[in-house]
Structures are given as structure tokens and as C-alpha cells.
A and B are shown apart, each in its own frame.
Chain A
Amino acid sequence: MMDFIVPLAYLVATALFIFALHWMNDPKTARHGVYAGVAAMVIGIVATWLEPEVVHHLWIVVGMAAGVALGIPLSRVPLTAVPQRTALSHAFGGAAAGLVGVAYYYLWWGHNPGHLTTFRTTALITENILGFMTFTGSLMAAGKLQEVKWIPQRPVTYKGQNVVNISLLVAAVAIGIWVIVHPTTALAAKLFPVVIGLALLFGVLLIIPIGGADMPTVIAILNSYAGLSAAALGFVVDNKLLVTAGALDGSSGLILAIIMCKAMNRSFANVLFGAFGQVQQAKQLEEGKTYKPETIEGAAQVMEQASTVVIVPGYGMAVAQAQHKVRELYDQLKKRGITVKFAIHPVAGRMPGHMNVLLAEADVPYTDLVESSDINADMPQCDVALVVGANDVVNPAARYDKTSPIYGMPIIDADKAHTVFAIKRSKNPGFAGIDNELYFADKTWMLFGDAKKVIGDLVKQLSDQGGIH
């Protein structure tokens, strides 16, 4: 009976997972996707639990209860902390797949070596390398995003770094191949943990040279690896539900990573091994270029007289938690009949879609969030561009300066607006360490200070004048 029910349950769960992702194509239907996903998960868990081989229940209940106890607080983090929560969940996904793989290897090695076929052992080794490197890599990424003290935020690079990293991976794969060829020997059982150890170390070293600006791509790649490790586990244990769910997660991460790379005009290899944010330190701006500061009153006056305002948010908005103040500014301008749009660059923030979620949290209608490629044509007609904590994504050097590390990256053409206001915390260069000449342009006026405070002051200024019109 269960021989029939379990595969059927897994088939239904697979179909529901596909529908869940399908419904994500529109914000209107997206929540159905969550319900379908939950239903699929419940079906899969119940069907497995009812299998006759499952005879001990207490430990399962304890493991699940502990997962619920940690999962609930993790789902309530502030939305600015979503990138690190996501990185952490990739770490958990990689670890879960890895641990089950380890358990099966030793189970079969000790009790049923006939199971360790070349195919299964290959899947096991693949799964373990992927799972465990995702585990430490994602922990490192989460630590960097959370700004944990003992994890350096700035990229850490040293001479021969790529050689070290690649040798480590080659060593792990080579030892893995030996295990695949001789899976049932005593030595294989000793080498198996060595492969895991190398994978863990590789994960750490892979993420150390990554800077904040590359986090959206790296998180997407780790997402893909976590999914692929789950799929590989499916190969190990002949579980098609795992293979499909893992493949869906893997392809999702892959597509997001491709979108992020395209948005920066860079390749995977360049992101992983390029150590962005180091090289450009050398380039200094020519002397004589100075920022032109503007007062809140002056900026408010110009904005009031505009007919179109485009707001360009960046990571600085997230850091300052300024999204709610930005919404108030949006309201003030809308009240005056001014058209207000948000120009969202795909890599703005620390993970794909980061800005959209923050602005949605602040209750900005998503119809006013415009993809950068769609808004650029309208930028020359735009009266005011307000840059809130964005930097590289509005740097005009990307268009023509071949020596710039961001050369070729599609940007938001904020510099084509009639007037540009840029809010900046300090006079230091942005996260990637690149000076932005937009800030020195004739039409640009700087508003120095914390984004939340500056926007708050603008709102106050505008609401005080509200009665004039």
C-alpha cells in the first residue's frame, strides 16, 4: 500500500512546488505560491513519516520542534536583515543535505557496501563537496552581512589567492575521485572526512575576498549550490522529490545569479575570483573637484517645483532604515501632483530584489517601482533625481571610463535628470571604494547626513509649506 501512496504523494508535492513558483510571476497571485509550497511540504513529510521503516518518532519530533523554535524568530527579523537570514538558510540547507549524505555513506560502508555503486558514490561526493562548502561559505556571507566583528567586511585578498583556492578544490575532487573508485575500502572511510574538511575550508576561503557590492550575486550562487546539493542527495537515495525540488532551487539560484551578473556586466568567474573593491583604490579623483552642498530648504524648494521626481534607492537606504521616511517624502510630493517613481537597479542592496521588499514594507505601491532599464529612456525628461544611498549604480563612469572597474555596467542614468540631489553619509567613496563623478557634476547638489535624517528633514520642510499651495 505505501509503495503506491508514497510515490503518489511525492508526485503531488512536486506538482505543487512547480505551481508555487509559477504563481510567483505576479505579486497578485504570489501568496498562493506559499500555500501550495506549504501543502506540498506537509504531504511530503506525512507520507515519509508513515513509511513502515520509520519506527522511532521521538527524535523526529524533537528535531522538528527545535527547527520550529529557531525558524519562527528567524522569520521575524527586520527586512533590512533579510540578506543575512537568506545566507544563513543556505548554510542550513547545505548542512542538512551534507549530513544526510555522510550518514548514508557510513551506513552503507558498514552494513551494505553493495550500495556504494560508482553512480551513488559520485553523487555522494558531489553532494558533500557542494553541501559543506555552501555551509561555511554561506555562514561567512551571513557574517559579513551581519557585520560580525571577527569577519572582515572589506574583501581580504593576498597573493596567489586564486591558486590556493583552486588547488584546494582540485585536492578535494581528486581525493573524492579516489573514494569513488575504491568506495568500500578502509582508507576510503578515512578519506571521506578529508573531502568534507577541504570543502568546509574551500567555502570559507571562497567568500573571504568577496565585497559587499558582490553579495547579491554570491548569495544567488550559494542558493544554487544549496539546491544542487539537495538534488544530488536525491540521486544518492533515489528520491525524485528531492531531485525535482533541488533542481528547481538550483535553477532559481542560477537565473538570479545570471541576472545579477548581467546587471553588473561581469562573469561568474570574475565575481568569485575577481576580488572586486580592491583594485580601484588606486584611482584618485583629480584635484579641484569639490562637492557642492545644498541645504534642506533649497532642495525642498526645487523638488516642489518639479513635475517628475525619480528616487534612486541603494544600500545606504537599507543601512539607515530610511524606507519609511522615503515613503513620507513620496506622499508629500504626490500630494502636490508630482509624478514620483523609484528607479530600482537589480544589484542595489545586498541581495536580489532587496530594495523592492524594503519599499513594499514602507507601503509604496509596487506599480511605482520601476526597473532601471525601463526608466532610463525617461530620465532626460525627469526634473529631479534623488539618490538615496546608492553609489555605483548611478556612476556615469560605467558608460565611458574604460579604466573604471565598473566599466560596462548598465546604470541608472541619474545624471541625465535636470537636477540631481544625492544623499550621502560622508565624503568617503562608496562600498566598492570607487569615487563617483556624478557627485561632482554641475547639476548635482549634495545633501550630507544620515539618509533617514535628511529625508525626514525634507519631509518636515515640505509639510510645513504644505499650506501655501
Chain B
Amino acid sequence: MHAMLAVVVPAAETQPSDFWSMVFVFVLATFIGLGVIRRVSRLLHTPLMSLTNAISAVAVVEGISITGANYPTIIRILGVVAVFASMTNIVSGFLITDRMLKMFKTTREGDRT
């Protein structure tokens, strides 16, 4: 009944969401996640957490979509805050993960000389 108003939203988004294919993707990704994470070295659980945190901050792409589109200002403000929050997680997450992983060594610098 509100079909006339649909023009604002880009064409790609007007397709009905494919409920079942999304659920399939989610369930399969969860199984892959459980399988992969279970084998992560227990030594690395702290860096694992910062890495997965950076990965889930890929939500930044939705922030970009709404900040950059021709939407009302208030919507774009919410978007830019989301971009900021996600980007903080991406930058700090990857950097601190790498910083921690660099520290895990089998031998120490001193031992090799």
C-alpha cells in the first residue's frame, strides 16, 4: 500500500530478502566458526578475541552505506557514529592483535646469539 514511497530506496534493496538463504549462510558460518575456533591454540585466546572483534567490525560497511547515501541528515549522523565506532575497533583490534602475536616466540632473542 505504500509502494509509491519506495523510490527513495535503491533498487538492489527492494528485492525481498531471501529468508532461507540468509539462515543457511548464518548456520553454515556458525558451524565453520565452531570448527575453526575449537582448534585455535589456547595460548592465543586473548589475541583471538581482539581479532574476531576487529573482524565483526566489518559492520563498518553498513555505516558507510548509510553515511554516504542520499538519506536524511539524522540517518547519516547515526551512520557516521557507527563508522567511527567500527573503525576504532578495526584499527585497534588488528594492531593490538599483531602486537600481541609478535611476542609469542619459542626461543628468546638472547638465546640465538
Binding site for B on A (CB under 8 A): 3, 13-14, 17-18, 20-22, 24-27, 30-31, 33-34, 37-38, 40-41, 44-45, 48-49, 51, 53-57, 59-60, 62-64, 66-68, 70-72, 74-77, 79, 82, 85-86, 89-90, 92-93, 95-97, 99-100, 102-104, 106-108, 110-115, 117, 119-120, 184, 219-220, 223, 226-227, 230-231, 233-235, 237-256, 259, 346, 351-354, 356-357, 360-361, 363, 365-367, 369, 371
Taking a contact as CB atoms under 8 Å apart, the answer to whether A100 and B17 are in contact is no
Residue of A nearest to B81 (CB): A99
In the complex, 20 of the A-B residue pairs with CB atoms within 8 angstroms, ordered by the A residue number, are A20-B55, A24-B44, A25-B41, A33-B97, A37-B55, A44-B60, A70-B84, A74-B96, A96-B81, A103-B71, A113-B5, A115-B13, A227-B56, A230-B56, A240-B25, A253-B52, A351-B49, A356-B45, A357-B100, A365-B105
Bound CA span A402–B45, Å: 31
Given contacts A230-B58, A242-B59, contact A95 B85 (CB under 8 A): yes
Given contacts A92-B85, A242-B61, A365-B108, contact A247 B44 (CB under 8 A): no
Bound CA span A66–B92, Å: 12
Residue of A nearest to B105 (CB): A365
Given contacts A53-B10, A99-B78, A99-B82, contact A353 B48 (CB under 8 A): yes
Taking a contact as CB atoms under 8 Å apart, the answer to whether B90 and A71 are in contact is yes
Bound CA span A57–B68, Å: 6
Taking a contact as CB atoms under 8 Å apart, the answer to whether B92 and A247 are in contact is no
Taking a contact as CB atoms under 8 Å apart, the answer to whether B58 and A60 are in contact is no
Taking a contact as CB atoms under 8 Å apart, the answer to whether A67 and B61 are in contact is no
Of the candidates B2, B39, B59, B88, the one whose C-beta lies within 8 Å of that of A71 is B88
Taking a contact as CB atoms under 8 Å apart, the answer to whether A34 and B101 are in contact is yes
Given A33-B97, A59-B76, output 20 extra A-B contacts at Cβ < 8 Å: A17-B58, A41-B90, A66-B88, A67-B83, A67-B88, A68-B91, A71-B88, A71-B93, A96-B60, A226-B56, A230-B59, A239-B61, A244-B25, A245-B55, A249-B56, A251-B33, A252-B52, A259-B45, A356-B46, A357-B46
* Shortest Cβ distance from residue A383 to the other chain B in the assembled complex, whole angstroms: 24
Bound CA span A3–B101, Å: 38
Taking a contact as CB atoms under 8 Å apart, the answer to whether B26 and A92 are in contact is no
Name the residue in B2, B19, B65, B85 with the highest tally of chain A Cβ atoms < 10 Å from its Cβ.
B85
Of the candidates A22, A117, A223, the one whose C-beta lies within 8 Å of that of B52 is A223
Of the candidates A20, A67, A231, A242, the one whose C-beta lies within 8 Å of that of B85 is A67
Bound CA span A231–B22, Å: 10
Taking a contact as CB atoms under 8 Å apart, the answer to whether A242 and B80 are in contact is no
Taking a contact as CB atoms under 8 Å apart, the answer to whether B92 and A71 are in contact is yes
Q: Is the interface of A mostly helix, strand, loop or mixed?
A: helix
Of the candidates A18, A76, A93, A104, the one whose C-beta lies within 8 Å of that of B57 is A93
Contacts of A254 in B (CB 8 A): 34
* Shortest Cβ distance from residue A451 to the other chain B in the assembled complex, whole angstroms: 20
Contacts of B26 in A (CB 8 A): 231, 234-235, 243-244, 247
Taking a contact as CB atoms under 8 Å apart, the answer to whether B53 and A226 are in contact is yes
Taking a contact as CB atoms under 8 Å apart, the answer to whether A96 and B85 are in contact is yes
Taking a contact as CB atoms under 8 Å apart, the answer to whether B25 and A243 are in contact is yes
Taking a contact as CB atoms under 8 Å apart, the answer to whether B56 and A93 are in contact is yes
Taking a contact as CB atoms under 8 Å apart, the answer to whether A54 and B64 are in contact is yes
Taking a contact as CB atoms under 8 Å apart, the answer to whether B5 and A71 are in contact is no
Residue of B nearest to A19 (CB): B36
Contacts of A45 in B (CB 8 A): 60-61, 64
Taking a contact as CB atoms under 8 Å apart, the answer to whether B59 and A103 are in contact is no
Contacts of B65 in A (CB 8 A): 48, 51, 53-54, 237
Bound CA span A353–B37, Å: 14
Given contacts A30-B44, A54-B68, A117-B17, contact A86 B49 (CB under 8 A): yes
Report B1-49 residues with CB < 8 Å from chain A CB.
2-3, 5-6, 8-10, 12-19, 22, 25-26, 29-30, 32-34, 36-49
Contacts of B75 in A (CB 8 A): 103, 106-107
Bound CA span A389–B38, Å: 29
Taking a contact as CB atoms under 8 Å apart, the answer to whether A238 and B22 are in contact is yes
Bound CA span A113–B8, Å: 11
Taking a contact as CB atoms under 8 Å apart, the answer to whether A93 and B36 are in contact is no
Contacts of B29 in A (CB 8 A): 14, 243-244, 247-248
Contacts of B33 in A (CB 8 A): 21, 247-252
Taking a contact as CB atoms under 8 Å apart, the answer to whether B58 and A13 are in contact is yes
Bound CA span A259–B71, Å: 44
Taking a contact as CB atoms under 8 Å apart, the answer to whether A21 and B51 are in contact is yes
Contacts of B55 in A (CB 8 A): 17, 20-21, 37, 40-41, 245, 248-249
Bound CA span A290–B13, Å: 72
Bound CA span A96–B106, Å: 38
* Shortest Cβ distance from residue A445 to the other chain B in the assembled complex, whole angstroms: 30
Bound CA span A115–B5, Å: 11
Taking a contact as CB atoms under 8 Å apart, the answer to whether B53 and A223 are in contact is yes
Taking a contact as CB atoms under 8 Å apart, the answer to whether A71 and B95 are in contact is yes
* Shortest Cβ distance from residue B34 to the other chain A in the assembled complex, whole angstroms: 5
Taking a contact as CB atoms under 8 Å apart, the answer to whether A96 and B94 are in contact is no
